[in-house]
Amino acid sequence: MGLFFGTDGLRGIVNADLTFELAYKCGNALASVKPSPRVIIGRDTRVSGEYLTLAVAGGVMSGGGEVIDLGVIPTSGVAYLTRELSADYGVVISASHNPREYNGIKVFDSNGYKLSDKEEEALERRFIHTKINDFPDIGRFSSEYNHIKKYESFLEESSVGSLEGMKIVLDCANGAACRIAPAVFRALGASVVASASSEDGMKINDGVGALYPEHLIRRMERYKADVGFAFDGDADRLIAVDKCGKVIDGDMLIYMLARNMKKEGRLRSDTVVGTSHTNMAIEHALARCGIGLIRTDIGDKYVLEKLISEGLSLGGEQSGHIILKDIHSTGDGILSAIATAGVMRREGASLSEMFDVELYPQANINVTVADKLRVINSESVNDALARVRGALGDWGRVMLRASGTEPKVRIMVESPDGETNRRYAEELERAVREAE
């Protein structure tokens, strides 16, 4: 990770961490990497979206680049349209699952892939110098909101068959999925109940969406639907709820998709990619199905890198980032929801019937700190980490890492015994707080 970019782009509180000037520098840096680049920009619904769009666009244009504003659109829609419109870069103005006061910048290359760590670091180095073109070589700007129809068609064409007869509840997190997700599922024949569909920008991720499945659970109880899907603010995550009210996270969805893809001969090398957070019970269950699991660091960009290097077709994170590599270049919550509904339809089963794994309990604690890198590299924290790992042995796993998007240290302890997990996680929490 660079000075500004984390595991999922540049992110922070608007006008505190993420300023107009910084967004301008990011856009201007893109114009200095390639001469007169074509850059498309999309955003979620939060109130600062237009403000930061103008900042990035101004930076690009001052360096002689062309900007196409796509309006409100999911992150994966920008990735798709970057290729379709032959753009040099795709930029997303979104803070994903974070609250309304946050925003962020994600950058895709001309192939629809997120920039690598090295590419982001190289881009940051260009923040130092500003490229300003003289008249008349200043760039141009246009708003072309109708391009979202191309992305809608792509999603509809990804479905293997109709979803007619299925009743589906969608929690759109008051974000980028508000219009497109209900429209696509209705076009595929499903009966749709759309909730958390406000676009006023002040309610995004506010007690709704992928981080708050209880909202979707209540809607499922009310409408007696077959399945519910919750997205986050930019719709690149998916968390599901089955008809019994059980929450199905990203790892669980990957397990079900992997079994179906193997059955249909679509799972390359009979292997999937997960992360260091993927539950051990899922790894063991996949192995019993003849499916291997490769782990990466947390972050969907690292999952994608492994999918590409190993030539694989499916991977993702517990948080709900799922990458169907043979279909798309990035995680796409709506696409993953369509694929999941399709598997339910073809298997003739509910999610709870298809997920037959008893997960190992995990204890997760997030500790807010001022300097996360100093804390996780402190001797006292590493001594505590070594003690816990030694005590767990092969019986469990422990993870302690700096968040890539927030000023937090994340702790996870996993084993078959929940009380043991809690005790060791709290021991690590104390070590982090003492180091802070």
Residue 154 counted as domain residue: no
275 and 172: one domain? yes
Q: Write down the pLDDT at residue 292.
A: 98
Residue 69 lies in a domain: yes
Residue (of 311, 313, 317) closest to 295 by Cα position: 317
Instruction: Tell whether 192 and 329 lie within a shared domain.
Output: yes
The total number of residues shown for the chain amounts to 436
Last residue of a domain, one of 86, 114, 146: 146
In a domain, 158, yes or no: no
Whole-number pLDDT of residue 7? 64
- Nearest CA-CA partner of 399 in 305, 315, 274: 274
Q: Average pLDDT of 172-200?
A: 97
305 and 379 assigned to the same domain: no
CB atoms within 10 A of CB 308: 12
Residues 119 and 201 in one domain: no
Beta strands in 66-137 (DSSP E): 66-72, 89-93, 102-108
The percentage of residues in the chain with a pLDDT greater than 90, rounded to a whole number, is 89
Boundary (domain end) residue, out of 321, 354, 387: 354
The pLDDT of residue 3 is: 62
For 80, phi and psi rounded to 5 degrees? Answer: -65, -45
Give the pLDDT score at 214: 96
Segment 215-269, tens digit of pLDDT: 999 999 999 999 999 999 999 999 999 999 999 999 999 999 999 999 999 999 9
The whole domain housing 233 covers 164-354
Using alpha carbons only, give the angle 180, 49, 134 rounded to the nearest 5 degrees: 120
In a domain? residue 36: yes
Tell which residue, 352, 319, 357, has the closest CA to residue 336: 319
Identify the domain boundary among 336, 354, 372. Answer: 354
> For residue 154, what is the enclosing H or E element?
helix 148-158
Average pLDDT, the chain: 95
Residue 109 shares a structural domain with residue 230: no
Tens digit of each residue's pLDDT (9 = 90 or more) over 283-317: 999 999 999 999 999 889 899 999 999 999 999 99
CATH (domain of 272): 3.40.120.10
Element (H, E) at 23: helix 20-33
What DSSP character marks residue 157? H
- Whether the predicted pLDDT of 431 surpasses 70: yes
> Are residues 110 and 20 both part of a single domain?
yes
Check which CATH number belongs to the domain holding 425 and give it.
Answer: 3.30.310.50
Whether 156 is covered by a domain: the verdict is: no
Looking at residue 113, what is its pLDDT? Answer: 95
Per residue in 345-362, pLDDT (tens digit) is: 999 999 999 998 999 999
Cβ neighbours of 43 (radius 10 Å):
27
Mean pLDDT score, 38-55: 98
| One domain for residues 266 and 394 | no
Residues 122, 221, single domain; the answer is no
Closest by CA to 433, choosing from 369, 365, 364, is 369
Distances (CA, A) of 100 to 97, 215, 350: 9, 18, 34
Distance of alpha carbon 272 from alpha carbon 304, whole angstroms: 11
pLDDT digits (tens, 9 = 90+) for 84-114: 999 999 999 999 999 999 999 999 999 999 9
Percent over 70 (pLDDT), the chain: 99
Residues carrying an active site annotation? 96
Query: What's the domain count of the chain?
Result: 3
What is the torsion angle, in degrees rounded to the nearest 10, for the CA atoms of residue 43, residue 48, residue 51 and residue 57? -30
* 3-state secondary structure at position 104: strand
For residue 159, tell me if it sits in a domain.
no
Task: Indicate if 239 and 199 belong to the same structural domain.
Answer: yes
Residue 288 lies in a domain: yes
Whether residues 61 and 113 fall in one domain: yes
| 3-state SS, one letter per residue, for 292-322 | EEEEECCCHHHHHHHHHHHCCCEEECCCCCE
Residue 128 lies in a domain: yes
Tell me, yes or no, whether 141 and 196 share the same domain.
no
Q: What was the pLDDT predicted at 373?
A: 87
**Is residue 310 domain-shared with residue 185, that is, in the same domain?**
yes
pTM (predicted TM-score): 0.90
CA dist 113 → 46, 68, 215, 273, 308 (Å): 24, 18, 32, 17, 11
